[in-house]
Amino acid sequence: MKKIYLYARFQRFWHWTQFLIISVLLLTGLEVHGLYNLMGYENAFRIHNLSGWGLLGLIFIAFFWYITTGDFRQYLTEGNLVEKIWLQVRYYMIGIFKHEPHPFKKNEISRLNPLQRITYLMLTLVGLPSQIIFGFIYFYFNELVALGMNPAWMEPIALIHTLLAYLLIAFVIMHVYMTTTGHTLTSNIKAMITGWEEVED
């Protein structure tokens, strides 16, 4: 075995801050939605909006970091993407239970498998930005209607915003399960905390 450095300090800071902000967004969002009463509607509403701005700011900083360091290349896949994703899906469905080796080995310049690459890319470029945009349209709805937006858009926007929130919860559950499928149960999570991971030499 050898130790490799996978996550720079900024990445770990960004990842866990993002997790914290999204947890607050989900907690307050579900309260605003009417599922329970924890801090009161008004507080939940205010904190939800503030956290939305916080997440937007964090995403801008993260984009800046990923682009200027060139680390965004870790999210791109060369060659036949479908074939590579299938290899990884087959591993999660069958290979893992037969103790087969991981189809893609980790190293400093390629830490993510093809399925992680496409999932994280879609989440960061499509999922989270759409959720934030729909959230802001919903929050500033009256102002936008005054500027000429059709009020009939309110309901579909609210529905999409809620649907995306549930999809995000599904992502977090799957994501945490997937992080336990590394070399040991906790090796991936340790890497996201310390930056270092033990991999086969």
Residue ranges that bind ligand HEM, judged by CB under 6 A? 11, 15, 18-19, 22, 111-112, 116, 120, 123-124, 172, 175-176, 178-179, 188-189, 192
Burial letters for 74-103: b for 16+ Cβ neighbours within 10 Å, e otherwise?
Answer: bbebeeeeeebbebbeebeeebeeeeeebb
Token duo for residue 108? 């400093």
Q: Which is nearer to ligand HEM, 136 or 171 (CB)?
A: 171
3-state secondary structure 115-168: HHHHHHHHHHHHHHHHHHHHHHHHHCHHHHHHCCCCHHHHHHHHHHHHHHHHHH
Instruction: Compute the least distance from the CB of residue 191 to ligand HEM, in Å.
Output: 6
Nearer to ligand HEM, 94 or 125 (CB): 125
For ligand HEM, which is the closer residue by CB, 27 or 160? 27
d(CA 152, CA 42): 25
Kindly state the tokens that stand for 46: 């205010």
- Shortest distance, CB of residue 85 to ligand HEM, whole angstroms? 15
Nearer Cβ to ligand HEM (49/179): 179
Measured from the CB of residue 3, what is the shortest distance to ligand HEM in angstroms? 16
Closest contact distance (angstroms) between CB of 162 and ligand HEM is 17
From CA 143, how far away is CA 141, in angstroms rounded?
5
Q: How far is the CB of 15 from ligand HEM (least distance, A)?
A: 5
Whole-angstrom distance, CA of residue 198 vs CA of residue 201: 9
Q: Which is nearer to ligand HEM, 11 or 77 (CB)?
A: 11
